[in-house]
């Protein structure tokens, strides 16, 4: 995914941002663009057009660092071509790979000018200026992977360009849970919640720019406990109620949640706030209490089922999504069967599932004596994905004939078609004029596949979007 906003007035240089991984990285890429706009950088669609390339990296998936080194090799060719023309291409590696492997990355990748971690993006303009002062052909290899005392949110400028009809809004960063498989506490740091007033101000600016749907982001977003303008600590449920009152904000979502932090106030917000969409991504990872304990998830399968039951009492049509790790060290066939049982009992509208792969520096990476063989992982993953696929297809089929409000975000796959998302986070395709792009329209669902649904525009009134 790339981020390439319109150049600011007077922009003389261009930046191309390539984003890997999660929604938080998408948000961060936009904020890096905002930080560089006052320095005269506008957007470039490709690296070939750019004076500066930023790789905003993710460390969650397997071989993430190797992919970055491969991309840096490709960019090195472009750098040499640029140098032969007497021009310069600067390269920044940002994000979680940068945070986890900062000094090693700078040592191995001699063509990198700046390595910067997620908490230091407000320093990016200064780092770029310092790197630009190095002699041509000799990248500066500056590394800033500190966890500064000051919050980057306090020092980043306001958004430089509109974000579109649907936008991400970071409200919380970091994680204190220390799941044994996860690098996030080491790459994003301790949990931090933005002051509620700052979140509300950013939301108002986004709404004024045409955004109608906000997705609140955090590594543990429902652990949000920001200082409120009333002098009290606000929960995520309280923040959602305030956001829903902003003129122009018609839809709210949030991700990613932890079962331990899903409190009564948040469940009540799902019940009471029409703008809060009836969809929730709530990772469980496994249905086995033995594996959950080894993962240090600090909840049981029964606890997860109880939360789901409470949510569905509040919102009977709630659609659920989740994350699953298959083949965690020590997982037996009985443990995996417990995961399948949980999936059958809960029912998911969609889910993300992966084979376990160790992350260096995490406790799970040291569990080498109880490794699950790769063929077993692959076979279990196939069974899980087949079951989830059946549930997702069934959920989509159940919406055929329903008329629902769909935010039409972008052109579809075919001419004359627009694509968007239903309240339940389904991908929706509909024949519609471009004049409806960016608007919420009533769509009657006519057909369904596993990954998407197709509908027609309807004159029927839609419920609150």
Q: What is the pLDDT of residues 163-178, one digit of tens each?
A: 899 999 999 999 999 9
Percent of the chain predicted with pLDDT > 70: 94
Query: Distance between CA atoms of 218 and 257, rounded to whole angstroms?
Result: 8
Give the model's confidence band at 204: pLDDT under 50 very low, under 70 low, under 90 confident, else very high: very high
| pLDDT grade for 382, boundaries at 50, 70 and 90 | very high
3-state secondary structure of 296: coil
**Predicted local distance difference test score (pLDDT) of residue 139:** 82
pLDDT digits (tens, 9 = 90+) for 128-141: 999 998 887 778 88
pLDDT-based confidence at residue 322 (cuts at 50, 70, 90): very high
Q: What is the pLDDT of residue 459?
A: 67
Average confidence score pLDDT of the chain: 91
Average pLDDT over residues 115-127: 91
Taking residue 323's Cβ as centre, other Cβ atoms within 10 Å add up to 15
Helix boundaries (H) for 245-373: 264-272, 289-294, 301-314, 333-346
Residue 133 tokens read as 């002062």
Among left, alpha and beta (phi > 0; psi -120 to 50; other), residue 293 is alpha
* pLDDT at residue 288, as a whole number: 98
β-pair partners for 92? 54, 114
Instruction: Dump pLDDT digits (tens) for 7-56.
Output: 444 457 999 999 988 888 899 899 899 899 999 998 889 999 999 999 99
- The string of DSSP codes covering 162-221 is ---SEEEEE-EE--S---TT--HHHHT-S-EE--HHHHHHHHHHHHHTT--EEEEE-TTG
Whether the bond into 256 is cis, omega within 30 of 0: yes
Which of 134-143, 363-372, 381-390 has the lowest average pLDDT? 134-143
Q: Are 14 and 49 in contact (CB under 8 A)?
A: yes
Structure tokens at 180: 């044994």
- Model confidence at 160, in pLDDT bands (50, 70, 90)? low
pLDDT at 446 over 90: yes
pTM recorded for the entire structure: 0.87
Residue 415 to residue 417: CA distance in whole angstroms: 5
Predicted local confidence at residue 307, as pLDDT: 98
pLDDT over threshold 80, residue 206: yes
Q: What's the gap between Cα 108 and its chain centre?
A: 28
Arch. (CATH architecture) of 152-398: Alpha-Beta Horseshoe (3.80)
- Spatial neighbors of 283 by CB under 8 A, at least 6 apart, are 256, 257, 258, 259, 322, 323
Q: How far is CA 48 from the centre of its chain?
A: 27
Structure tokens given for 438: 């960016």
Compute how many other C-beta atoms are within 10 angstroms of the C-beta atom of residue 88.
Answer: 16
Q: Cβ–Cβ contacts within 10 Å for residue 136, how many?
A: 10
pLDDT over 90 for what percent of the chain?
71
Q: Which homologous superfamily does the CATH classification assign to the domain defined by 2-144? A: Methylthiotransferase, N-terminal domain (3.40.50.12160)
Q: Give the start-to-end residue ranges of the domains of the chain.
A: 2-144, 152-398, 403-457
What is the rounded average pLDDT of the residues 422-433? 97
Check residues 156 and 464 and name the one with the higher pLDDT: 156
- In the prediction, which pLDDT does 152 show? 73
| CA pseudo-torsion sign 197, 200, 202, 204 | negative
**pLDDT average, residue stretch 353-374:** 93
Q: Which CATH architecture has domain 403-457?
A: Beta Barrel (2.40)
């Amino acid at each position: 995914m790339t981020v390439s906003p319109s150049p600011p007035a007077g922009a003389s240089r261009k930046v191309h941002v390539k984003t890997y991984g999660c929604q938080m990285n998408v948000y961060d890429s936009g904020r890096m663009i905002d930080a560089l706009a006052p320095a005269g950088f506008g957007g470039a669609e490709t690296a070939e057009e750019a004076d500066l390339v930023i790789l905003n990296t993710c460390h969650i998936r397997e071989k993430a660092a190797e992919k970055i080194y491969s991309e840096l090799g490709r960019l090195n060719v472009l750098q040499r071509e640029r140098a032969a023309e007497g021009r310069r291409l600067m390269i920044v590696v940002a994000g979680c790979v940068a945070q986890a492997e900062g000094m090693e990355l700078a040592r191995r990748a001699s063509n990198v000018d700046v390595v910067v971690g997620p908490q230091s993006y407000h320093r990016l303009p200064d780092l770029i200026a310092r790197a630009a002062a190095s002699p041509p052909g000799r990248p500066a290899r500056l590394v800033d992977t500190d966890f500064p005392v000051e919050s980057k949110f306090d020092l980043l400028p306001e958004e430089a360009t509109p974000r579109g009809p649907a936008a991400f809004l970071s409200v919380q960063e970091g994680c204190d849970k220390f799941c044994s498989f996860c690098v996030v506490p080491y790459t994003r740091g301790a949990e931090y919640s933005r002051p509620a007033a700052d979140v509300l101000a950013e939301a108002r600016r986004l709404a004024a720019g045409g955004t109608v749907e906000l997705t609140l982001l955090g590594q543990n977003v429902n652990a949000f406990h920001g200082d409120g303008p009333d002098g009290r600590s606000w929960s995520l449920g309280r923040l959602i109620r305030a956001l829903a009152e902003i003129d122009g904000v018609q839809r709210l979502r949030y991700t990613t949640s932890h079962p331990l932090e899903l409190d009564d106030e948040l469940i009540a917000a799902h019940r009471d706030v029409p703008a809060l969409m009836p969809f929730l991504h709530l990772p469980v990872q496994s249905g086995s209490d033995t594996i959950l304990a080894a993962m240090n998830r600090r909840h049981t399968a029964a606890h997860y089922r109880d939360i789901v039951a409470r949510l569905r009492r509040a919102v009977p049509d709630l659609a659920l999504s989740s994350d699953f790790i298959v083949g965690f060290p020590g997982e037996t066939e009985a443990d995996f069967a417990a995961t399948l049982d949980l999936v059958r009992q809960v029912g998911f509208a969609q889910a993300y599932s992966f084979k376990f792969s160790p992350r260096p520096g995490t406790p799970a990476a040291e569990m080498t004596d109880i490794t699950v063989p790769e063929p077993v992982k692959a076979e279990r993953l196939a069974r899980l994905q087949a079951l989830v696929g059946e549930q997702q297809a069934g959920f989509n089929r159940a919406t055929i004939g329903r008329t629902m409000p769909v935010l039409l975000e972008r052109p579809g796959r075919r001419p004359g078609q627009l694509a968007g998302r239903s309240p339940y986070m389904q991908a929706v395709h509909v024949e519609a004029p471009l004049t409806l792009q960016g608007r919420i329209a009533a769509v009657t669902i006519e057909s369904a596949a596993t990954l998407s649904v197709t509908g027609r525009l309807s004159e029927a009134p839609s419920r609150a979007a």
